[in-house]
Structures are given as C-alpha cells and as structure tokens.
Amino acid sequence: MEKQDLRIGITLYDSVRDKNIEIESKHFKELSIAENNFFERYKPIEINTEYLIASGFVQKWEGENTTEFKLNEHKFELVHIKSQEAYVLFFGNHKAGKIKYVHELQNVMLSVFQHLN
C-alpha cells in the first residue's frame, strides 16, 4: 500500500485495535506525524467472497480456476484467478486492471463513479 492509495472512506485493518476501520481525516494527521508507524499499524485487507457479496456483488459462476462476480446495476465484473490470489477488474468490456486489496477496489470504484457523474 502506498501513500497515494489513501483516501477518506477506504477500509483498512487496524492491527492495534484488531478490526477493520474506515479511514477518516484524523488518520491523515497520524500519517503526517509518523508515516512508518502508520503503515505498520494499518494494513490492506485482501478481497474475499464475503466482502464482495456484502458490497453488492453477486457471484455468477465458479470454475476450477476462476470465479466471476458482477455488480448488478453497473458494468463491473471481477474475475477471481485462484492460482494468483488476485482479481481482474472489468468495466464494461474493458479490462481495468488487476487488484488484490479492498482499498484498491474502493479507489477504482470511486474514480469510475466520479467520472460517471
């Protein structure tokens, strides 16, 4: 995870409190004071089926090597490549990239929705 990946509203794991948290403006103050400590405490969360379903994605099919998830109202599709433990994101018929973490998906979705409005 890089500094430029951070935005208000993304979800990270807080290793001190042992729970997932949503980044708020107060966390950026923490980052500016002690960047190394910030990245030791807050960790990216790997995308998983439970998170995707809770976020509105629907599992469409599962094969031996891949699982497909779609976001109904939008043209988002995630294909989980099991051997790589990564997800390929498609928007419409265009490959938008490979992602692994929740904050990456949140950032992509925020960016796309901002451009649609």
Minimal CA–CA distance to 82: which of 48, 106, 58, 108? 48
pLDDT in tens, 83-107: 888 899 888 778 888 899 999 989 8
19 or 63, greater pLDDT: 19
Tell me the residue range of the domain where 111 lies: 49-116
Do 77 and 39 share a structural domain?
no
Do 86 and 70 share a structural domain?
yes
Do 53 and 38 share a structural domain?
no
47 or 97, greater pLDDT: 47
Q: How many domains does the chain have?
A: 2
Do 83 and 39 share a structural domain?
no
30 or 44, greater pLDDT: 44
pLDDT in tens, 17-38: 999 999 999 999 888 888 889 9
Percent pLDDT > 70 in the chain is 92
> Which residue has 């992602």 as its token pair?
99
- Do strands 66-71 and 76-81 pair parallel, antiparallel, or not at all (unpaired)? antiparallel
Q: Where are the beta strands (DSSP E) in 15-55?
A: 19-22, 42-43
Do 98 and 62 share a structural domain?
yes
The burial class, CB within 10 Å (0-12 / 13-18 / 19+), for 52 is: buried
Do 34 and 56 share a structural domain?
no
Q: What pLDDT, on the 0 to 100 scale, is given for residue 71? A: 83
Does residue 44 carry a pLDDT above 90? yes
Do 27 and 61 share a structural domain?
no
Q: What pLDDT, on the 0 to 100 scale, is given for residue 45? A: 96
Instruction: Give the mean pLDDT of the chain.
Output: 87
Do 54 and 35 share a structural domain?
no
Q: What pLDDT, on the 0 to 100 scale, is given for residue 46? A: 94
In the structure, what pLDDT confidence band is assigned to residue 15 with cuts at 50, 70 and 90? very high
